[in-house]
Amino acid sequence: MSPSIEPKLAEKPAHVPADRVVMFDIYNPPNVAEGFQEAWMTLQREDVSVLWTPFNGGHWIATRSGEIGEVFVDYSRFSSRVFIVPKDIGEIHRILPNTLDPPQHRPLRKLLNNVLSPSAVNRMEAHIRATAVDLIENIKPRGQCEFLSEFAENLPIRIFMGMCNLPMEDVPKLKFWMDQVVKPNPIMEYKDVYPLFLEYFAAVADERTGGGGDDAITDIVNRTIDGRPLTKHEKLNLLTVFLMGGLDTVYNLLGFIFLFLARNPAHRQQLVDDPTLIKSAINELLRRFPLVNTAREVRFDIEFDGVRLKAGEMIVPPTQLYGLDDRINSEPLKVDFRRKNIEHSTFGKGDHVCPGAHIGRLEVTIAVTEWLARIPSFSVKAGTEVQQMGGLIGSIPSLPLVWAAGSTDTSQ
Ligand code: HEM
């Protein structure tokens, strides 16, 4: 989803103290091109942990791990009814299960948990590995690639198609629609693209309802809630969110991680020398490169961090700032693969915590493992200035990588 950027600034409500106002557009933070997470960290202050910005309809932002955690976890004060700012755009995105609060959220969420459970995901491991290896083996002899379009984009969609037993020839069509939703300057508007997803999944859901396949779609559409079958609306929403939730997130996370590995040969070498370190290294990289924006609606007037939040106002709990808070992780911008007691909210927290966390971690772990086994030494193409971007999900628009073709020499 790319919410249209609201150029108009909201007027400061009287109850917002002047010292809490910050000029910060969460979709285009100041100086984001040089570093997405660094741009967010400029919000962290010692004295206060909740600020207000006039951008995107005017909303609060929690800036420290304690307050971010509270917003994520306490649905009695912070509702997911609207989870995107600006609020008027968020009101249009009535997506399930994202926009439900407990207890209504739980039964639908359980269906996603079933198909994305650690045991279900572990059964996918061979398919994920084979897909990653195939993509890398194709790219490797050339000695260079545009990492995002040639690798990162292809991995999650192919895994999704495999998990759902959908034909690979549908990939270009689904990718085109996804690009309209998540990439800047789309050709089609969200309101015109979303029905295409629904139409696509309606046909598949009809075909698989009552079927006996062992794919994720057959699993979801044949489940019941409190003894009743799912409505068509529920089925289509779950399938669409299942597709949308897992593509751009993994794709962009891979971008940040591979940019880091390309620029930091000593860290890369640590993983080449000891691949058993990769699993914990991925957790540290998840902490260092959080990227997803979300929001909550304040349910009723409350005091929070010494300010008054009014019913109906929006508050953003940035996943970007939780693990990068020096109150819980010392030297937060430093990547230390042996860091102990890592805390982050890169997958969110509370009832809506990402159900795709297991598969997301596994995809990224396998990508790094198989890439380093075949291309242990690589760098950003000389003369390239790699930019970073804001949005609903932080991103790196282009990442040209180079390596010595046909060589596995790690000493270069
Ligand atoms: C690896 C990269 C990923 C990251 C960083 C990520 C991040 C997140 C975050 C922060 C949330 C919480 C949003 C909120 O509280 O409003 C979330 C929710 C969600 N994610 Fe992920 N995600 C990733 C991968 C995936 C994958 C692979 C899938 C599916 C296959 C997925 C499906 C979902 C769904 C369906 C939700 C909504 C859950 C609910 O509302 O209960 N995500 N994700």
CA of 347 to the centre of ligand 1 (A): 6
pLDDT for residue 6 = 45
Q: Is the CB of residue 316 less than 8 Å from the CB of residue 291?
A: no
Nearest to 293 by CA among 38, 10, 35, 83: 83
pLDDT for residue 187 = 87
Distant-in-sequence, close-in-space partners of 175: CB < 8 Å, separation ≥ 6: 153, 157
CA of 269 to the centre of ligand 1 (A): 31
C-alpha–C-alpha distance, residues 40 and 44, integer Å: 8
Q: What residues line ligand 1, using a CB cutoff of 6 Å?
A: 83, 97-98, 109, 112, 116, 241-242, 245-246, 249-250, 253, 292, 294, 319, 346-348, 352, 354-356, 359-360
Distant-in-sequence, close-in-space partners of 159: CB < 8 Å, separation ≥ 6: 124, 127, 128, 131, 246, 359, 363
Residues 35-86: tens digit of each pLDDT: 999 999 999 999 999 999 999 999 999 999 999 999 999 999 999 999 999 9
- SS3 state of residue 313: coil
CA of 357 to the centre of ligand 1 (A): 7
Nearest to 252 by CA among 115, 156, 168, 176: 156
Give the mean model confidence (pLDDT) for residues 392-397: 93
pLDDT for residue 191 = 80
pLDDT for residue 410 is more than 60: no
- SS3 state of residue 245: helix
CATH class of 18-402: mainly alpha
**H-type alpha helices, 30-150:** 36-41, 65-73, 87-90, 105-115, 118-122, 125-139, 147
What tokens were used for 255? 């971008």
pLDDT for residue 300 is more than 80: yes
Give the mean model confidence (pLDDT) for residues 156-182: 91
Q: What percent of the chain has pLDDT over 90?
A: 85
Residues 128-141: tens digit of each pLDDT: 999 999 999 999 99
Specify the residue with its C-alpha closest to ligand 1, atom 23: 249
CA of 362 to the centre of ligand 1 (A): 14
pLDDT for residue 177 is more than 50: yes
CA of 85 to the centre of ligand 1 (A): 17
Give the mean model confidence (pLDDT) for residues 177-193: 81
pLDDT for residue 412 = 36
Residue positions counted in the chain: 412
Residues 6-43: tens digit of each pLDDT: 468 999 999 999 999 999 999 999 999 999 999 999 99
- Mutate which of 79, 249, 393 for ligand 1? The one with the most ligand atoms within 8 Å of its CB, which is 249
Residue 183: band (very low, low, confident or very high) from pLDDT cuts 50, 70, 90: confident
pTM for the predicted model, two decimal places: 0.95
Specify the residue with its C-alpha closest to ligand 1, atom 16: 294
Nearest to 376 by CA among 280, 227, 270, 228: 270
Backbone φ, ψ for residue 46 (5° rounding): -75, -35
CA 333 to chain centre: 19
- SS3 state of residue 402: strand
C-alpha–C-alpha distance, residues 253 and 268, integer Å: 17
Buried-state track 366-395, b at ≥16 Cβ within 10 A, e below 16: bbbbbbbeebbbbbbbeeeebebbbbbbbb
Give the mean model confidence (pLDDT) for residues 207-229: 93
Give the mean model confidence (pLDDT) for residues 358-369: 98
- Residue where the block lists tokens 């909210």: 345
Nearest to 41 by CA among 19, 18, 22: 22
What tokens were used for 119? 């045991």
Domain boundaries, the chain: 18-402
Specify the residue with its C-alpha closest to ligand 1, atom 7: 347
Specify the residue with its C-alpha closest to ligand 1, atom 27: 246
pLDDT for residue 406 = 65
